Amino acid sequence: MSSLRLTRLGHRDALLVLAAGDLFGTPPTEEGARRFLEMPGHHLVLAIEGYRPVGFVSGVEMGHPDKGTEMFVYELAVDPAQQRRGIASALLRELQAIATERGCSALWTVTDTDNEAALATYRSLGARDSSGKTMLEWDGGHATR
């Protein structure tokens, strides 16, 4: 991992997101990347090996009147051929550093209960299970009657 570089992307780095497109669940668009990177409190860290993106983590600052600001770990991905080299942990540590710099009181995320690799990575960095929670979601971002 000696040539690995972690790069915090900024509002002018949409094309770097596109270069990492195969790491995303769905290929990103330039407009979507630009919009994400321009939004205050939105962070994306890219892991680059040589000249090739091999992983990323994205985070979103979320504020609430009784909780202060927390960092939601939105997505974490590492190229399957590059996994088990500490890249995910390095990316998460960099997002933790951003959260600290930004005054966030906590980091949190949601993952599938059978995603053993993600769970092991999160736990190795001090994350703990939050029992008694269930994630619910709506299609299209709104409830139906």
Backbone angles phi, psi at 94, to 5 degrees: -65, -40
Instruction: Give the pLDDT confidence score for residue 85 in this predicted structure.
Output: 93
Q: Domain segments of the chain: what residues? A: 4-127
Tens digit of each residue's pLDDT, the chain (145 residues): 568 999 999 999 999 999 999 999 999 999 999 999 999 999 999 999 999 999 999 999 999 999 899 999 999 999 999 999 999 999 999 999 999 999 999 999 988 888 888 888 888 888 888 877 777 777 776 655 5
Both tokens assigned to 50? 């040589």
4-127 fold: Aminopeptidase (3.40.630)
CA separation for the pair 4, 58 (Å, rounded): 18
